Amino acid sequence: MNHPPVVLPRLTALAKQAVPRLLEGVVAPLAVFYVSMAVLGYKWALIAAAAYVYIGVGQRLVRRVKVPATMFVALLAITARTAVGFWTGSWVWYFIQPEIGTIFLSMVFLASVRLNRPLVQKLTLDYIHLPSAVLKHERVRRFFVRITLLWAFVLLANSTVSIWLALHESLGTFMLLRTSMVAAISGLAIVFSLFAFKRVLRRLHHAPAA
């Protein structure tokens, strides 16, 4: 039985699908908070960041457009962060609290590998379409297991760095260093993941008949 033909997605096509959603669900809420903090102050920044996420999800629900999993995660996260931010009145806890959640999320990634249901596979399907024939191949399954392990440790590293900076630096320094360091770590992991994915699909495409 021959392997079914696999059309290799271009990295540019993957980026066009994934990057806008990542910007909307992850980067934009932080940008809204930073700008609002500088212009309006801390409490209004909390409200603005939460309102941005709620409006984004609400618009999709009204238009009956599929809401990406990352948007629901962002909705839950921003709700908890805003509550903690108002309760403590401290920007340190506003930023540390989600990092604790991220550490927990990294443990969920590890647990999903143990359960043989790698979470990266589920998140990938929120951004791009993969044929069922591709998902069923053992090489692809092994890839998602390994990449899920990689991202578990990336999330843990990002959170550790962020918590340390929040406890030892001023708000301005924290924003600058945290953003650049997390972007560097995550960027390298994204590039590695994409090229590894392309490599797996190429091997799958050229694999001999079973």
Q: What is the pLDDT of residues 129-182, one digit of tens each?
A: 666 666 667 787 888 889 999 999 999 999 999 999 999 988 778 878 888 888
Helix ranges restricted to H, the chain = 11-22, 28-39, 42-63, 69-88, 91-114, 119-127, 132-135, 138-168, 171-206
Q: Hey, what are 133's tokens?
A: 């024939």
Mean pLDDT of 38-56: 85
Burial 79-91 (b: 16+ CB within 10 A, else e): eebbebbeeeeeb
How confident is residue 20, by pLDDT bands cut at 50, 70 and 90? low
Q: Quick one: pLDDT at residue 206?
A: 60
State the average pLDDT for the chain.
Answer: 79
Number of other residues whose CB lies within 10 A of the CB of residue 159: 21
Residue with the bigger pLDDT between 67 and 62: it is: 62
Q: Hey, what are 109's tokens?
A: 């990634």
Residue with the bigger pLDDT between 81 and 68: it is: 81
Cα–Cα distance for residue pair 82/30, rounded to 1 Å = 12
Tell the residue number behind the tokens 């540390």, with chain if given.
96
Q: What is the pLDDT of residues 86-97, one digit of tens each?
A: 888 888 888 887
Domain boundaries, the chain: 10-89, 90-210
Cα–Cα distance for residue pair 203/134, rounded to 1 Å = 12
Whether pLDDT at 39 is above 60: yes
Q: What is the pLDDT of residues 100-124, one digit of tens each?
A: 878 888 898 999 888 888 888 777 7
Q: What contacts 57, CB < 8 A, 6 or more positions away? A: 67, 71, 72, 75
Q: Quick one: pLDDT at residue 63?
A: 85
Whether pLDDT at 32 is above 60: yes
Mean pLDDT of 60-84: 78
Mean pLDDT of 178-204: 83
Cα–Cα distance for residue pair 106/203, rounded to 1 Å = 29
